[in-house]
Amino acid sequence: MEGVPPSGPRKSGSRLERVLASGRFAVTAELVPPASTDPEPFLSVARKLKGYADAFNVTDSPRARVHMAPWAAAALLLREGLEPVMQLATRDRNRIALQADSLGAAALGVRNILALSGDDPASGNERGAAVVSDLTTEALIETLRDLRDKGVLRGGDSVEPRPRFFIGATANPFGEPLEDSFANLRGKAEAGADFVQTQAVFDLDAFEEWMHLVRKEWLHEKLHILAGVIPLKSAKIARFMSEKVPGIVVPRSVVGRMEKAADPKAEGLRIAAEALASLQKVEGVHGAHIMAVNWEEAVPTVAKQAGLHPRPDL
């Protein structure tokens, strides 16, 4: 079922915003910039995914491991005719750098920015790195909103022309007590987020319980919700996510399917496609975010199996 999107004038003109505003079920996918100066492997993957998602998240040094800057990778995607969603982590930048990178990205043609805190450097390859976190995620969202809507920097100086941003955030329906997770979403909506991408959804019943709270306060009419989907490659990965990855709940039934499967990859694709089909029926869900890390070739298969290809021509 197609979601009823939040109303209002266009804020960025991005394809992602247009698809969501049309009421169609949007699809985003994740791309990790290279940990080198060679863009070709990154672009080779991106070209194969063209047409299977409406926009592509460019991650910001995920797992706190050094990768090409997200604004540079976003510019590379724009050259290929793909629309980026540039992630921007508060972990590594103070408010000067966050605003500078945002303005630079806008000048390059980036229209979608997703604010997040970023992973702890203790888990990465520069463990001595200082955590900056000058702004909270909510404060960064407010900063981006004021740049767009008022043309002012956080310090009060004017910016002309105003950057046109479609502002995103993340949400985790499973990582905290239900009420705390919902309060986190409410804070991001109040700060000015236009859309959120959630952590991977494997437990649809638990996700529906979270969405009940979302609908109760009409947050699905204030911002667009894109539910996360991760295609599983093996039973080992399913167990690892269930036991070791905070905020991901993989039901025993899903792990069991992966363990019994003669072809685990094919079964993982089926599970992801089934999740996508079910999520399209959840009231208030406006799209999905496919996170096929190190298995990007899974995105076309999952999108086709879920009936989400071809993408709308807008």
Please tell me the pTM assigned to this model.
0.96
- Give helix 95-108 / helix 70-79 axis angle, nearest 10°: 10
Of 74-78, 116-120, 181-185, 232-236, which gets the smallest average pLDDT? 181-185
Q: Is the pLDDT of residue 5 over 80?
A: no
Query: Is residue 122 in some structural domain?
Result: yes
Q: Which residues contact 177 (CB under 8 A, 6 or more apart)?
A: none
- Which CATH number belongs to the domain containing residue 187 in this structure? 3.20.20.220
Query: Is residue 21 in some structural domain?
Result: yes
Query: Is residue 310 in some structural domain?
Result: no
Rounded CA gap, 291 and 32, in Å?
10
Among residues 69, 47, 65, the alpha carbon closest in space to that of 56 is found at 47
- Domain count along the chain: 1
Average of pLDDT values for 229-233?
98
Query: Is residue 69 in some structural domain?
Result: yes
Query: Is residue 206 in some structural domain?
Result: yes
Q: What is the pLDDT of residues 249-260, one digit of tens each?
A: 999 999 999 999
Query: Is residue 224 in some structural domain?
Result: yes
pLDDT of residue 196: 98
pLDDT of residue 293: 86
Query: Is residue 240 in some structural domain?
Result: no
Query: Is residue 220 in some structural domain?
Result: yes
Domain encompassing residue 64: 15-231+281-299
What torsion do the CA atoms of 52, 288, 220, 136 make, to the nearest 10 degrees? -110
Please report, for residues 72, 186, 312, the alpha-carbon distance to residue 280 in angstroms, rounded to integers and kept in the order given. 33, 22, 16
Q: What is the pLDDT of residues 146-177, one digit of tens each?
A: 999 999 999 999 999 999 999 999 999 998 88
